Chains A and B, each alone.
Chain A
């Protein structure tokens, strides 16, 4: 189970009214390499991974939900006071037609989130390599969004989130090293 802390992991500040940035940020909300995919991937894979790394997947999966919340807050702040006209100018008319200002799990191109974005292979090495790849792809996505954004306060939050991808990738790589270690060399059968 989880306890909820009614605050964000890192403060989210948005300085300019720029709904177009929300259109790009939604990639990290409902995209293939976004925070939702990351959280669901890790929290699902953890059941069938060796005991030594279950806790890592639980902790990182949980933190991904904290990141999801930060992205949601950014998107919400960028769109909550936008008029339909402003949404149209930002390229968000298709979103507005379907969802008004509601957030939805889709990527920057409007493609809805799908479980085919994630995998649970059951092979610990294969799953951890997927997790490392996912962190690196999320880091790259943050870079490209930062490149598209000219809002320094928003970018501050995005740079924090990018750094967390770097740390998570390192931890997953360490998990692989743990699983590579020769422990009980039991000859079975």
Chain B
């Protein structure tokens, strides 16, 4: 199972003025991996589909928002 958010650790110089955000993230939504959508994928119930914006859980991409934390040491 893939993750929809990836993390990386950018270089931080001792001379950089701000406190480091040591971990940064970016989104890799499910459409990146699906190719041509296979037939007969499991479906949401109609009401849930309307809420989610897609009929298929395999295409649903929750975005909880990015929370970057400044390292306070």
Contact = CB atoms under 8 A, between A and B. Distances in A.
Given A50-B8, A189-B67, A123 B23 contact: no
B7 A179 contact: no
A85 interface: no
B32 interface: yes
Interface residues of B, number: 19
Dominant secondary structure of chain A at its interface with chain B: loop
Nearest to B68: A188
Contacts of B67: 189
A50 B7 CA distance: 9
Given A50-B8, A186-B7, A180 B32 contact: yes
Contacts of A7: none
Given A123-B27, A188-B23, A51 B32 contact: no
Given A185-B3, A189-B67, A125 B8 contact: no
Interface in A39-83: 50-52
Interface string A116-137: 0000000111000000000000
Interface residues of A, number: 16
A125 B23 contact: no
A179 B6 CA distance: 8
A182 interface: yes
Contacts of A180: 2, 28, 32-33
B10 A51 contact: yes
B11 interface: yes
B67 to A, nearest CB: 6
Nearest to A124: B26
Interface in A141-189: 176, 179-180, 182-186, 188-189
Interface of B: 2-3, 5-11, 23-29, 32-33, 67
